[in-house]
Amino acid sequence: MTGASLPRGPVVLGLEGTSLGAADRMRLLHPLTGGAILFSRNFESCAQLRALTASIRALRTPSLLICVDHEGGRVQRFREGFTTIPPMRTLGAVWDSDVAAAAAEARRLGELIARELRAHGVDFSFTPVLDLDFGRSAVIGDRAFHGNPNAVAHLASALRHGLNAGGCAAVGKHFPGHGFVAADSHVDLPVDERALDALVADDLIPFAVLAKEGLEALMPAHVVYPAVDTVAAGYSRVWLQDIARGRLQFDGLIFSDDLGMAAAQAAGDIVSRADAAVTAGCDMVLACNDFAAADELLSRWQPDAQPDLARRTAAMEGK
């Protein structure tokens, strides 16, 4: 049985538990909602996960997008019954001695991630990480493939091809690069003082390569680059419109990072944050862990129509 016929909206929501409660259902049926993001709190077994995703899909037509942060290493939400994925830095270490072997392994892991997620009803993971490893950021750390932008571009491209082969779209993050700053945007507002030319010469290379190849989606960083704009990249028309859409010719979906993160809060309350993100160029906004704020967003936000949302979200459906 299919649920209500309702176009996808621009909000991606976290869920409270391992099955849909009444509050979850109410949020997911709201016209502003377009997807659900899953965390470790939403997983206890493979059978339970399949039941949860099936119940989400049954709510609406077209079905809500179902996504997860499932990169490998520290960031792998589903464990029991899933293959343990190594941190991406291990691929970078192989790349230093055998480029072809590293790329082949990246593609294999991408396909493995995708096939396991799709078998459990999940559309895609927020991966690959395109940040460079400058040895400065603990929150990025071994999530990055390498410090060499060409290595990152090569390995991320191979991972994306594997994801696509396994049935998943890819999401490049955290545009234009989170690896140079020490501060963690979950708890602070990082500031990267480098000039645009320095970012173009290093950090933007993987994003440019994957955008040219047809990357399906992008997630900007909650980082301020004051030499380019006074607001964080996820709230910046310069970064999202002039550079991502313009300079890089990126035409995929742009997700905000979680609007509940400390670095996102500079824009004001949850409604002001969502407005700022969409005005800058985000297609969808994430409200992951603060359920009271999510309820406030759904009750008060009145975004303008987004004519490209249906097309761009369709590209994120399980392939």
Query: What tens-digit pLDDT sequence spans the chain (319 residues)?
Result: 467 899 999 999 999 999 999 999 999 999 999 999 999 999 999 999 999 999 999 999 999 999 999 999 999 999 999 999 999 999 999 999 999 999 999 999 999 999 999 999 999 999 999 999 999 888 899 999 999 999 999 999 999 999 999 999 999 999 999 999 986 666 678 899 999 999 999 999 999 999 999 999 999 998 999 999 999 999 999 999 999 999 999 999 999 999 987 767 777 899 999 999 999 999 999 999 999 999 999 999 999 989 899 999 999 997 6
3-38 as b/e, with b when 16 or more CB fall inside 10 Å?
beebebbbbbbbbeebebeeebeebbebebbbbbbb
Active-site residue, selected from the candidate residues 257, 258, 275, 283 = 257
CA distance 296 to 231: 24
Respond yes or no on whether the N-terminal peptide bond of residue 146 is cis (omega within 30° of 0).
no
What pLDDT is stored for residue 123 in this prediction?
98
- The question of whether 257 is a catalytic residue gets the answer yes
Alpha carbon separation from 105 to 91, 98, 163, 167, 225 (Å, rounded) = 7, 11, 12, 17, 34
Pair of tokens at residue 59: 């709510």
Q: What sign does the CA torsion over 249, 255, 259, 263 have?
A: negative
Respond yes or no on whether the N-terminal peptide bond of residue 206 is cis (omega within 30° of 0).
no
Question: CB–CB of 150/196 below 8 Å?
Answer: no
Residue ranges of the domains in the chain? 8-314
Cβ burial of 226 (10 Å; 0-12, 13-18, 19+) is: exposed
Question: CB–CB of 290/254 below 8 Å?
Answer: no
DSSP code at position 97: T
CA atoms within 13 A on the CB side of 243: 23
Query: Long-range CB contacts (< 8 A, 24+ apart) of 132-136?
Result: 132/177, 132/179, 132/180, 132/202, 132/203, 132/206, 133/89, 133/92, 133/179, 134/179, 134/180, 136/179, 136/180, 136/181, 136/182
What pLDDT is stored for residue 1 in this prediction?
44
Active-site residue, selected from the candidate residues 161, 184, 186, 269 = 186
Give the count of beta carbons closer than 10 Å to the beta carbon of residue 2: 11
Pair of tokens at residue 106: 């990246």
What pLDDT is stored for residue 254 in this prediction?
98
What pLDDT is stored for residue 189 in this prediction?
82
- The question of whether 70 is a catalytic residue gets the answer no
The CATH superfamily assigned to 8-314 is Glycoside hydrolase, family 3, N-terminal domain (3.20.20.300)
Q: What are phi and psi of 149, to 5 degrees?
A: -60, -30
CA distance 316 to 65: 7
Question: CB–CB of 222/139 below 8 Å?
Answer: no
